[in-house]
Amino acid sequence: MRQVVIREIEPIQLGLVGAMQIARLDKERTDKGKTAKTQMWLVTSRTAKELPPMALLNARRQEWGIENGLHYVLDVSGEEDRRLKVRTANSIWVLSLLTRLSVALWKSSRGKAQSYYTWRERQKANCRGLLKLMTTPCRKIQT
């Protein structure tokens, strides 16, 4: 069960530039006979007229598409948190960019059920293949 309570606000009330709406999302989930209740606070720059309660709930749920589509790949399969330990901000920026490029190449060339980890390990000895992928004209990626 999910319930949302919204309230329009002025940015000064929250101290966030552009904040137009605050919402409290109450969730209740039962798993194996145990019920867990959670509460989450959300803030948006859109008014209640622009983003009514149901649309706000849908937008919150869609965030998981981003989490599962990219962040999971980077954090788990790509081991980004473990591998990207560097000393300078510029280094982390460059390595993050290269990791995201790698994920984009994987998405455009992977086998049907090939994980990012498996693909990445196979590409380590395939620099020419990666260069060919980067110079191939773009096509729409099926996600």
Q: What is the pTM of this model?
A: 0.48
What is the distance of C-alpha 81 from the center of its chain? 15
Residue 81 phi/psi, 5-degree rounding, is -60, -35
In 3-state terms, what secondary structure has residue 4?
strand
Number of domains making up the chain:
2
pLDDT, mean of residues 132-136: 73
Cα-based distances in Å from 84 to 38, 71, 77: 33, 14, 13
Q: Are residues 104 and 50 in the same domain?
A: no
pLDDT at 20 over 90: yes
pLDDT attached to residue 141: 46
Q: Are residues 45 and 17 in the same domain?
A: yes
Tens-place pLDDT, residues 29-62: 998 999 999 999 999 999 999 999 999 988 888 8
Alpha helices in 37-135 (DSSP H): 53-66, 72, 80-83, 89-109, 116-123, 127-135
Q: Are residues 125 and 84 in the same domain?
A: yes
pLDDT at 21 over 90: yes
Instruction: Check if the beta carbon of residue 41 is closer than 8 Å to that of residue 14.
Output: no
Q: Are residues 59 and 82 in the same domain?
A: no
Q: Are residues 57 and 102 in the same domain?
A: no
pLDDT attached to residue 43: 93
Q: Is residue 73 part of a domain?
A: no
Structure confidence at residue 24 as a pLDDT band (50, 70, 90): very high
Tens-place pLDDT, residues 74-117: 766 656 666 667 778 788 788 778 877 878 788 777 767 778 77
Cα–Cα distance for residue pair 26/6, rounded to 1 Å: 11
Q: Is residue 70 part of a domain?
A: no
pLDDT attached to residue 106: 81
A 10 A CB-CB count for 21 gives: 21
pLDDT attached to residue 80: 64
Number of helices (H), then strands (E), belonging to the chain: the values are 7, 3
pLDDT attached to residue 143: 45
Q: The domain containing residue 54 runs over which residues?
A: 2-64
